Amino acid sequence: MEGNQAAGARQARDLVRVAFGPAVVALVVIAAVTLLQLLIANSDMTGALGAIASMWLGVHQVPISIGGRELGVLPLLPVLLMVWAVARSTARATSPYSSWLVVRWVVASALGGPLLLAAIALAVIHDASSVITELQTPSALRAFASVLAVHALGAAIGVWSRVGPRAVAATPLPFWLDDALRAAAAGVLALVGLSGVVTAGSLVVHWATMQDLYGITDSIFGEFSLTVLSILYAPNVIVGTAAVAVGSSAHIGFATFSSFTVFGGDIPALPVLAAVPRPPLGPVWVALLIIGASSGVALGQQCARRPLPLLAAAGKLLVAAITAAAAMSLLAYAGSGQLGNFGHVGVDQGAMFVGALFWFAVIGAVTVVMTGGVRRRRRPRRPKPRPREEPADFAELFDDEPGGAPFQGPFDAEPGDGAVDSEGLPGDGALSGDGGPSGAGGPSGDGDAPGKADAPGKAGPTSHEREQLPEPERFREPESGD
């Protein structure tokens, strides 16, 4: 009984941690940063709660409207950290052997707690907008949908990492689905990682431009704020680089960037944006397409780890390519939005999906074929017919005696060994001697010497001896005596 109570209390703590842990931690960090900003700026605390609530919703990609201007392009780093935190908390609360009831409770807790905090944040913003007229309440539908999407994605990743193989085994889903998702993750990580390397290299090349952007402020605190903003928006720039690498385009207002052309325009004074290319575009930027090909190779290698038949291998590759392309399009959508007077900032999601799908599918298919990811079906070989055994020779059958020793008949004995014939009479050796009868004809008064009896004739061979004779001699008549 006590053990059940302890287990129930532990599960309750895990559910509470899943429901409010990541969201409350983000709220505390945002509150600390906001209060620090207000203290450094020597500002009063009026509307501080409204600012904290707006920033918490901004972490979930809810646009912030201030003074009629919408800040729709929000940094990707906070939302990625939120997804990671939710996935980690749900994975810790779920074991590979958890019942489906426990899994449902974990997912419900991961979604219910943030939705409750979102409702509270909307109420706080609505109350603060009566004091700060420039602060506007966001759309409730957009707020709930964004919060639900972020936490549902994190919960799905965390729960699938624990019970994914068991779910595949319990449903009619293909057994290679988990491998396809891993291959998609490998392709996305390869594309984002290589794009990050190119972004860092471009920042080094345009180091002078980045220093000029830091020159807009004279205080250390201002430079620190610009550095923090650059770090928060770095994933947005990396996603834009990935879009250029797969053949799509990124734009900041009227300024458009791709691997083939660049149109200039006004750019916000953010140091990380020094990585964008300047017109005229050099031929080196066409080499960015190698990044797309490399990411396709990474996805194909992951798919080829477990060889499958042709149809199954093609299905796994197609699922992995579509999932990876959809993930990149989702990142592009999350990193896009309105930016005040600059207009729309972001990536062409449709072109990015098509370009990423092309590199992942085509190059991935070539990689799978070349690395042995397709297993050919082997036809079963017909068993060779056993050769028929030739009939044994009758002579060998008669020659072989049981026990391996040849059978010796009465006539096989040597003369003089006292053998007995087949009728129980003493043989020749028994009849010969000094004290025995004189011959086979009985006693005689002629006084013949022993052994001198008249022989009736030469006896014929016995049946055993006939069998030992060759075929022509078996049926020969015995020769008559003298």
- Least confidently predicted of 3-7, 118-122, 189-193: 3-7
> Region 251-269: what's the mean pLDDT?
83
Q: So what's the pLDDT on residue 464?
A: 59
> Six-digit token pair at 471?
């075929």
Element housing 337 (H / E): strand 337-338
Q: So what's the pLDDT on residue 408?
A: 53
> Six-digit token pair at 421?
């014939």
Residue 107 to residue 126: CA distance in whole angstroms: 29
> Region 23-40: what's the mean pLDDT?
89
> Region 383-399: what's the mean pLDDT?
57
Q: So what's the pLDDT on residue 367?
A: 93
- Residue-wise pLDDT for 418-468, tens only, equals 444 444 444 444 444 444 444 444 444 444 444 444 444 445 556 556 556
What are residue 17's phi and psi, to 5 degrees? Answer: -65, -40
Q: So what's the pLDDT on residue 148?
A: 96
- Least confidently predicted of 252-256, 398-402, 405-409, 443-447: 443-447
Residue 477 to residue 367: CA distance in whole angstroms: 91
Position 255 confidence tier, pLDDT thresholds 50, 70, 90: confident
The top-scoring range by mean pLDDT among 27-31, 262-266, 433-437 is 27-31
Q: So what's the pLDDT on residue 6?
A: 63
> Region 147-171: what's the mean pLDDT?
91
Position 96 confidence tier, pLDDT thresholds 50, 70, 90: confident
Evaluate whether 160 touches 83 at the Cβ level (below 8 Å): no
Q: So what's the pLDDT on residue 136?
A: 84
Report percent pLDDT > 70 for the chain: 75
**Angle in degrees, CA 5, 7, 11, rounded to 5:** 115
Q: So what's the pLDDT on residue 459?
A: 53
- In this model, does residue 57 exceed pLDDT 90? yes
Residue 257 to residue 420: CA distance in whole angstroms: 122
- Residue-wise pLDDT for 204-254, tens only, equals 988 888 888 888 888 888 888 889 999 999 999 999 999 998 988 898 888
pTM for the whole structure: 0.74
> Region 346-361: what's the mean pLDDT?
92
Q: So what's the pLDDT on residue 237?
A: 93
Q: So what's the pLDDT on residue 405?
A: 52
Q: So what's the pLDDT on residue 221?
A: 82
> Region 303-316: what's the mean pLDDT?
90
Long-range Cβ contact pairs of 61-69 (< 8 A, separation 24 or more):
61/146, 61/150, 61/334, 62/138, 62/142, 62/143, 62/146, 62/147, 63/138, 63/142, 63/337, 63/338, 64/138, 65/135, 65/136, 65/138, 66/134, 66/135, 66/136, 67/134, 68/136, 69/340, 69/341
Per-chain mean pLDDT for the chain: 80
- In this model, does residue 473 exceed pLDDT 80? no
Q: So what's the pLDDT on residue 27?
A: 93
Considering only residues 59 and 132, tell me which one the structure prediction assigns the higher pLDDT: 59
